[in-house]
Structure 1
Amino acid sequence: MKTTNKKILVADDDVLVRKLLNEFLTLCGYDVDCVSNGKEAIALVETDSYDVLITDHLMPEMNGIELIKKVRDIKKSLAIIGMSASEEERGFLAAGANLFISKPFSPYTLKNRIEEICLT
């Protein structure tokens, strides 16, 4: 599979979701890092360069909306996709997410949204 030179950070407390997204996005050619909470995500955003952050809503330490607000203070141009099984679209978008995806979703839907967000 071809590489895209795009680097993605996934923040989700569910180990299975992290594993599946890591495997799928890597197969799609992305360079992927995964963390289990918002504090870990902030530490990586401060020290590394990412093209896209994909974050869940409900996580320990710091939820996805709090994470987005802090990331926007650090890297205003970072593309952010919020994902949640709850109805949090407005909260994610108000916090600064570029896009929202409702769980459950097809991995191909996520891939298309990543491609869309990287083109803008």
Structure 2
Amino acid sequence: MNNKTILYAEDDIIIQKILGKFISKKYPDTLIASNGKDALSLFETNKVDAVVTDLSMPVMSGFELIRKIREHNTVTPIIVTTAYRDEAKQLNDAGVTILYKPIDTKELMKSLEAAFAC
């Protein structure tokens, strides 16, 4: 079993269930949030080894979530999942990995493994 804790934030319930279940198979300690505000709360109250987040979410966007995480933590790997290529360009200096939807699960796992190899 893998002892890494992944925080996964996605508001689309279908994508959340599919990818959440997929991530949990390798990383059983996966925390799931439906918006950036809940994700930030989970990040602040748990030891999170990596964040996988959508950009477009209600309550608090993925952009805001990343900004708030990076205010105090510049080392936790963040993987962005998004359908919006133009918006993702705004993250060039945020130290994130960007994966475009529809998500290739092999690429997601490679990105997580690469994050932990550092």
Q: TM-score over 0.5 for the alignment?
A: yes
* Aligned twin of 1:92: 91
- Change in Cα spacing, 1:97 to 1:17, as seen in structure 2 (3 Å) is farther
Instruction: Report the alpha carbon displacement of residue 97 of structure 1 after superposing the two structures with TM.
Output: 4.0
* Aligned twin of 2:67: 69
Structure 2 spans left out of the alignment, 5+ residues: none
Name the SS for the 2:102 alignment partner: coil
CA distance in 1, matches of 2:38, 2:95: 18
Name the count of aligned residue pairs.
117
* Aligned twin of 1:19: 17
Instruction: Report the alpha carbon displacement of residue 108 of structure 1 after superposing the two structures with TM.
Output: 1.4
Name the SS for the 1:62 alignment partner: coil
CA distance in 2, matches of 1:43, 1:85: 25
CA distance in 2, matches of 1:24, 1:98: 21
Task: Calculate the TM-score normalised by the size of structure 2.
Answer: 0.91
Structure 1 spans left out of the alignment, 5+ residues: none
CA distance in 1, matches of 2:63, 2:40: 13
What RMSD over aligned residues (CA atoms) do the two structures have, in Å? 1.3
Task: Calculate the TM-score normalised by the size of structure 1.
Answer: 0.90
Say if 2:81 and 2:103, in contact at 8 Å, map to a contact too. Answer: no
CA distance in 1, matches of 2:25, 2:18: 11
Instruction: Report the alpha carbon displacement of residue 86 of structure 1 after superposing the two structures with TM.
Output: 0.8
Moved over 3 A (4+): none
* Aligned twin of 1:78: 76
CA distance in 1, matches of 2:27, 2:8: 15
Q: Percent identity?
A: 33
Instruction: Report the alpha carbon displacement of residue 99 of structure 1 after superposing the two structures with TM.
Output: 0.5
* Aligned twin of 2:116: 118
CA distance in 2, matches of 1:97, 1:89: 12
